[in-house]
Structure 1
Amino acid sequence: MTLKTKLFATTSALLIASTGALYADGHATHPVTGETLASDQTFTYRDLDESPSIDPGIAEDSAGGDILRDLFEGLYNQDATGNLVPGVALSHDVSEDGMTYTFNLRDNAKWSNGDTVTAGDFEYAWKRAASPELASPYSWFIELMALENASEVIAGDVDPSELGVTAIDDTTLEVRLTQPLPYFPQMLTHFTTFPVHQATVEEFGSDWTKPGNMVSNGAYVLTEHVPQEKLVRERNEMYWDNENTIIETVTSLVINDENVALTRYLAGELDRTDVPAGQFPRLAAEYPDQAVSVPLSCSYYYLFNLRDNAPEEIQNADVRKALSLAIDRDIIVDNVLAGGQKAAYTFTHWATAGFETPDIPMASMTQAERNAMAVELMEGAGYGPDNPLEIDLVYNTSESHKSVAVAISQMWKQTLGVETTLANQEWQTFLEARSNGDFEVARGGWCADYNEASTFLDLMQSDSGYNDSKYVNAEVDELLAAAKTSDNAQANYDRVEEIVAEETPIIPIYHYASVKMFAEDLEGWPFENFQQNWYSKDLYKIAE
């Protein structure tokens, strides 16, 4: 099958050089491309679930990240191919030992209330995100950034004031690391590093993210939020580059059912939506200029609960490996999903920058060989026709997740006689259940926070904030720690992937593709950005 791809002309870099004209109904053409602009410059898209939070210090999901990149701006942004471009920071200097970064901030960045964005706003936000008081589910990202005293601050052993970030003056931010990280600047496009307005947070407390209260520094401001229904943001007139923003209003609609969302898209209610599992071939044939599939930096996997109080059967590595072997990943990607996804035998996505997929033995086996080994391992563990394994599998509500779960449970039943009980949960409930260990086997999806293999494999660290399996392996911890300063991190990553494949705390199932429908008049989407980090300020609609 040939996947249809649509590569739109990007505006992320081009708009910087534009004429500075304001875009309204009367402005007929794009200042750089010369395309005739539509009078309606609104963008409406579908989200599967309500994001747990739109507080940069608390947010934890990719859909929330999409919203936060509109509402807030960090030190750097990404262009259409994933390269760093200036955000609030214009540039940075690095010390000879690679452990001190000095960021030079623009002096014309404003908050939506007119206040100047300063280096102090970043210092406050980072220390807040690391503080035990906030208890951010993403505080571990501050630790991954290798900030001085990060581990101690997060653990509550050191005051947040000791974190390695200091505002030297309003336009100079100093960051001190405990070790050099070549990819450190890439990490600064992540929402956890975005600034927050201290006075607003302190005035409104947990209500500071509500419309009317929120003060933000991105290209858009929050104007309406109906939980479980929609979130609306409109152009921020105080944004330093507002004159080059074309899209006026952005609306994300929470629609749990992919087929309902597709129907609404085809009726013209949405400008972007997800392609339901298995429907890409048909939609690509019927709508070749709208159906799109490109690699996406996410991995789909199942994780086992390895806590001491978890069921004994899933504590057995042979049982876990048998369950992994019995999954025919080719059927999942070719028949169930059929959208350009690739079978996964490693956790790290195959297209991750600088990563070479290691040789995992099961990857080169035929499915018949995998099934035979799975049966042998399961019988060795004491399970078979006379003593079938019974497990519970939970996933967050989605027809696509359900389709994958049903297919895999049938594979387990047919090959191993496993009796699987399937259960779906609402997104927030699902996240809490995984975090609390209230599951046996659960669906997982991880999207890269930056384009380097450690963004995946660090989840295998014993103390990772998103190691929901609670997998512990001293060798893995040592390998990942050493990789951060190694001249050949690939060797460490290879070994970690080999250990994970053998001990199977997780089952990698497939590597994502971004499979969506886009309105024909929408331009500027960054299809060549592997992380698919998009900014509404770079989008625009052309006249039909």
Structure 2
Amino acid sequence: MTKLFATTALLTALAMPAWAVQPAEGETLAENQTYTYWLLDAIKSLDPAKNTDVEGSDALRSLFEGLMIEDAAGNMIPGVAESHEMSEDGLTYTFTLRDAKWSNGDPVTADDFVYAWQRVVTPETASEYAWYMELMNLQNATQIIAGEMEPDQLGVVALDDKTLQVTLTTPTPYFLNTLSHTTTYPVPRAVVEEHGDAWVQPANLVGNGAYTLASHNLGVEIVFEKNPEYWDAENVVMQTVRGVTVNDNNVALTRYQAGELDRVQIPAGQYPRLSEASPEEAVSVPYGCSYAYVFNLSDKGPEALKDERVREALALSLNREVIVDQVLQGGQEPAYTWTHWAINGFAAPEGGMKDMSQEDRMARAAELLAEAGYGPDNPVRLQLQYNTDDSHRLLAIAAQQFWRPLGIEIELNNVEWAVHTDRLQNQDFEIARYAWCADYNEATTFLDWFRTDGYNSGKWSNEEYDKLLVEARTAEDTTPLYQRAEEILADENPAVFVYHYAKVDMINPAIKGLPRENLLNTWYAKDLYRVAE
């Protein structure tokens, strides 16, 4: 029998009011407890096994709850699991579940997690996030995803209704941090099996989160209502939450200023003006996402991009400083690594193009293109695809202008988000705008993206890179391994890293409870409340 020792003190539902929503001294709750926020695009899926985007995750955190959740600073705190223990060898975690219910009144059990996790790795589910279970180092995940083992061999077992045991292949220091991610949420087997893909429709969806799905008009709005069956419902203040889709960021800002939205992203270049005019509303904080132009290096990709010299020239000649200082103007940072600069414990490698002047970068880029046989008289012709958003459009135009003097002709191709992601998944692009937001606060959340068998939409592959990430799983000091991985990315340029995000928003001062210190910007509607104005 594996020896266990406690890693988290027993936290029961009775202790939870210690972090329940509490209005500050002098605040008076508004009678109307409704929060309305902006969505750029339609939410592709409300199935935890099939969601891939930030907007979907925001919605799923209202409808479902995982073993762990995050506090306002991004620290892990108990969700459905009120306590856990870890074995001395770091391979076995045992979670004790609290008395929680599904929105139909049924109890949430350990088997609901077993079913959900097995469903993610089952090839028939076709989950784009199946690799996340590998990243968690769940026992047998890789073999199941490859079709070499059955899903019931996954390292997750229900010892009884309230006890979940998870077995890993290797000690994973960040394992607990992965458990607030929507891919790990439980789902109700009976509902999924009864309704199939239609189980996520408003009339069918059963969740265990603080809210239920009242309506979902795809690409128009999604509405959540407080769930009376939620285990901590007595401490949930916000009654109704609405996400409204507005594809034009400037139109969305106008609707915010008209009082129709409580939170909206500030369009590129407008933060300085809005911050001066409305300092109590304009907010800019570091946000754990990185923006890039990904190259299609698969067999379907253009021949020019298979030449490392062309890729390096594209990376060198993109003027990141102009992008963040003159186009975005919202506190973003130029990106010379894929990993966001503010990720816990990350230190970027020294040297590289960030220490070169833009003049020197352009000169070197011209040399590389000439060596590859390209230049103004023989231009490289490529298409840059981006999804609908004015900021993406402005950045694409800027990139087009930076590259044109070198003899790189860029055709811009604007498509809707659903089309964009489908083309990325199927390698139907040449260069594609992309952004990755951290799933947890550790560098592998970025670096694993470029593994040969990672998400890796451009299908770049490097054996040394893959080995570094395997070695990092058990290394005491991961810093040199992560730095070497970033050096390889800088040498081979599978993408142009453009900038590291800041969360730049207008937020109604009456809305309280949105986090300002969580790098992942993970927010929970159950923590929000509206004060009287």
TM-score (normalizing by structure 2)? 0.96
Counterpart code for 2:414? N
Q: Which residue of 509, 515, 527 maps to 1:538?
A: 527
- The structural deviation recorded for 1:524 is 1.0
User: Any gaps of 5 or more consecutive residues in structure 1?
Assistant: 1-12, 24-29
Q: 3-state DSSP class of the match of 1:133?
A: helix
User: Tell me, which stretches of 5 or more residues in structure 2 are unaligned?
Assistant: 1-12
Indicate conservation of the 8 Å contact 1:132/1:156, yes or no.
Answer: yes
**How far does residue 19 in structure 1 lie from its aligned partner after superposition?**
11
Q: Distance in 2 between matches of 1:441 and 1:283?
A: 33
Q: How does 1:18-37 map to 2 (within 5 A)?
A: 33=25, 35-37=27-29
The answer to whether residue 436 in structure 2 is matched with residue 446 in structure 1 is yes
Relative to structure 1, the CA distance from residue 524 to residue 209 in structure 2 (aligned partners, 3 Å threshold; closer, same or farther) is: same
What CA distance in whole angstroms lies between the structure 2 residues aligned with 1:41 and 1:429?
36
Q: Which amino acid aligns with 2:441?
A: N
Structure 1 Cα separation of the partners of residues 102 and 14 of structure 2: 24
Counterpart of 1:538, as a letter, is D
* Aligned pair partner of 1:330 in 316, 321, 339: 321
C-alpha contact 1:434 1:468 (8 A) present in aligned 2: yes
Query: Which residue in the other structure is 2:392 paired with?
Result: 401
Match for 2:62 among 55, 70, 84?
A: 70
Q: Does 2:359 align with 1:371?
A: no
2:485 to 491, 496, 499: 496
Q: Per-residue deviation at 1:309?
A: 3.3
- Determine if contact 1:15/1:244 at 8 Å carries over to the other structure: no
Equivalent residue, structure 1, for 2:6? none
Cα shift at 1:417:
2.0
Give the partner amino acid of 1:256. Answer: N
Tell me the distance in 1 between the aligned counterparts of 2:67 and 2:450: 28
Q: Equivalent residues in 2 for 1:122-521 (5 A)? A: 122-414=113-405, 416-464=406-454, 466-521=455-510
Q: Secondary structure at the match of 2:500?
A: strand
| Corresponding residue of 2:93 | 101
1:47 equivalent among 39, 42, 47: 39
1:363 is displaced (CA, Å) by 0.7
Counterpart amino acid of 1:477? Answer: D
CA distance in 2, matches of 1:251, 1:345: 37
By how many angstroms is 1:506 displaced?
1.0
**Conserved? CA contact 1:18–1:244, under 8 Å:** no
Deviation by residue 1:140-185 (Cα, 9 ceiling, x = unmatched): 1011111111011111111100000000001110000000100000
Q: Deviations over 1:482-524 (max 9, x none)?
A: 0111111111111111111110001110000000000011111
TM-aligned CA distance change 1:227 to 1:207, over 3 Å: same
Q: Does 1:524 align with 2:524?
A: no
Cα pair distance change 1:19/1:243, threshold 3 Å: farther
Identity of aligned residues (%): 53
Distance 2:97 2:488 in 1: 43
Distance change in 2, residues 1:477/1:19 (3 Å) = closer
Query: How many corresponding residue pairs?
Result: 521
User: What RMSD over aligned residues (CA atoms) do the two structures have, in Å?
Assistant: 1.5
Question: How many Å apart are 1:34 and its aligned residue?
Answer: 5.0
| Distance of 2:23 and 2:72 partners within structure 1 | 18
- Matched residue SS, 1:446: strand
Matched, 1:79 2:68: no
SS in structure 1 opposite 2:318? coil
Aligned-partner residue type, residue 524 of structure 1: G
Task: Report the residue type matching 1:456 in the other structure.
Answer: F
The structure-2 alpha-carbon separation of the partners of 1:14 and 1:93, relative to structure 1 and needing over 3 Å to count, comes to closer
Distance 2:19 2:75 in 1: 23
1:282-302 per-position Cα deviation (integer Å, ceiling 9, x unaligned): 110111100000000000001
Conservation of the 8 A alpha-carbon contact between 1:60 and 1:138: yes
Contact 2:35 2:238 in 1 (8 A): yes
* Contact 1:94/1:100, CA 8 A, preserved across alignment: yes
CA shift in 2, pair 1:310/1:19, >3 Å: closer
The amino acid across from 1:401 in the alignment is: H
CA distance in 1, matches of 2:376, 2:63: 56
SS in 1 for 2:447: helix
